[in-house]
Amino acid sequence: MKYKNPVVKGFYPDPSVCKVGDTYYLVCSSFQYFPGVPLFESRDLINWTQIGHCLTRESQVQLRRVNSSGGVFAPTIRHHDGRFYMTTTNDTTHQNFYVWTDDIRGEWSEPIFVDQGGIDPDLYFENGRAFFMSNGMDDEGSSGVVQCELDIETGAKRSPSRTIWQGTGGRYLESPHMYKIDGRYYLMAAEGGTEYGHMVVYARGDSLHGPFESYSANPVLTNRDLGGYELQGVGHGDLVEDGNGHWWMLHLGFRQIGRWLTYHHLGREVFLTPVTFGEDGWFTAGHDGITLTSFNTDRIPDTVVQQEKKVYTFGNTDWNLDWSYLRHPAAENYTLSVDRAVLRGTDVTLDAASSPTFIGLRQKDFDATIACEIELSGGEGEAGLTLYMDENHHYDLALRRGSAGCEAILRLNVGDIKSVERRVALNETRTTKLRIRSGHERYHFFLVQGDREIAMGTAQTRYLSSEVAGGFTGVLIGLYAVGEGTESAFVEFECAYA
């Protein structure tokens, strides 16, 4: 069959995967968004359904005053002795920790902290023992992939932290994962930075603790030299075997907005690439070490059909799965139902590294039409749609009520430049419809009155890209309200992809 990449679209970076029985489970980074660490399942590796989050309580993760792209970094999911474990880093507090559950659809434990620094932690189990790895510095001051043995019940170290591999020389060594395959230990990681030079590298050895011999043809997977190719930034992968002797890599990558336009704003997404072991025990990945927009493979039966959801509404999304808050929300400011979202504003704006009244859905493709109707009531304030990259980079199409009356506005926020591009006075605000048309290179904003569209303006997508804004996230389509006493009801929301 032929499948298309990415297999999970939108801002779902740093994937990690494990297989239990006939089901695959996958987790991704969430940074400053809450709930933390989205959790997916699949039976065929190409159709993924979100079933929860690993971090659903404020007690599990500290996100208050966390800057954009801080907070929860690259997680790893593993299964051992009937229990699931997810380990991750809160990069803002500089703490590695893990949580566990015996019910993949239930609640996860309180965090168990590990006294080892670095980022991108990994757990490996063997013969009743647990080993922890991260990319950082060991107890002797040596940097690289650092390993220690853990008491899995308490998180206490049972051995010193020791550097076991220092990579192949590429910058920003990260994302270490350990596997035992056919009696050998394979240590896979990423280098080059999670940008256009990103790559997957690996080494192998006869001992869990090394020494490790690097694969002679590293990087095993990268799109770094493909100028003008849609898929870029390929790296940070995790291996999984499908039960039929075939190996796969789930990894991140991103789609740039145009062939020669090196910007991406949808975030880093999840890609699936076939892996093949040779007779010598070394493996290769993809098409000559490259990830493609689609793969023809006989590893997945032709009876499997890759599904793609094209329309997202209040009615066909789950507030607890598909939508995200900025940091820890004040629950009393949200009343969410199957066909309506009532948001109560505060004095916290979208420009603050705090928790404004905001709930967002990841933008999953370039071409889309986004629309909703808003009823604005209460005191002075505003409510509307935002295309949100971070507190310094977002485009807001909103209704605003002040002492002089009510108006519709388009505000563009790019770094220190915050400009209201257009204002349209409104006679009444009982129900007003807003619409955004999205393309690869531009967003187009409209106020809708009856059958008439009033153009509010346009804005380039590149100014919401990681190349301009920095950071590791992607655009969320947000509903928001600002202003003490302001209450807004969002009705008939729809995001339809072409």
Strand positions, DSSP E, 72-115: 72-80, 83-90, 95-101, 112-114
pLDDT value for 380: 87
Q: What is the DSSP string of 178-247?
A: EEEETTEEEEEEEES-SSTT-EEEEEEESSTT---EEPTT--SB--TT-TT-SEEEEEEEEEEE-SSS-E
Q: How far is CA 130 from the centre of its chain?
A: 27
Please state the φ and ψ torsions of residue 155, each to the nearest 5 degrees: 85, 0
pLDDT value for 379: 78
Q: Which amino acid is at 6?
A: P
Distance CA(414)–CA(33), nearest Å, equals 21
DSSP letter at 424 equals E
Across the chain, mean pLDDT equals 96
Distance CA(277)–CA(103), nearest Å, equals 33
The answer to whether the beta carbons of residues 398 and 390 sit under 8 Å apart is no
Q: Which residues have a Cβ under 8 Å from the Cβ of 227 and sit 6 or more positions away?
A: none
* Per-residue confidence band for 400, with pLDDT thresholds at 50, 70 and 90: very high
Q: What's the Cα-to-Cα distance from 312 to each of 31, 130, 308, 316, 370, rounded to whole Å?
A: 23, 42, 11, 6, 9
**Pairing mode, strands 33-34 and 36-42:** unpaired
Q: Which residues have a Cβ under 8 Å from the Cβ of 424 and sit 6 or more positions away?
A: 407, 408, 409, 447, 454, 456
Distance CA(426)–CA(345), nearest Å, equals 20
pLDDT score of 211 more than 90: yes
Q: Which amino acid is at 409?
A: I
DSSP letter at 103 equals S
Quote the pTM value: 0.97
| Catalytically active residues, by annotation | 14, 174
pLDDT value for 49: 98
The answer to whether the beta carbons of residues 361 and 477 sit under 8 Å apart is yes
CATH topology of domain 311-497: Jelly Rolls (2.60.120)
Identify the H or E element spanning 466. helix 466-469
Q: Which amino acid is at 230?
A: E
* Per-residue confidence band for 429, with pLDDT thresholds at 50, 70 and 90: low
* Per-residue pLDDT tens over the stretch 295-336: 999 999 999 999 999 999 999 999 999 999 999 999 999 999
For the chain, how many residues are written? 498
The answer to whether the beta carbons of residues 188 and 210 sit under 8 Å apart is no
Q: Provide the percentage of residues in the chain whose pLDDT is more than 90.
A: 95
* Per-residue pLDDT tens over the stretch 329-384: 999 999 999 999 999 999 999 999 999 999 999 999 999 999 999 998 877 899 99
Judged on CB neighbours under 10 Å (0-12, 13-18, 19+), 99 is: buried
Span 2-296: which CATH code?
Answer: 2.115.10.20
Identify the H or E element spanning 468. helix 466-469
The answer to whether the beta carbons of residues 485 and 379 sit under 8 Å apart is yes
What residue segments make up the domains of the chain, in order of their start?
2-296, 311-497
The answer to whether the beta carbons of residues 62 and 49 sit under 8 Å apart is no
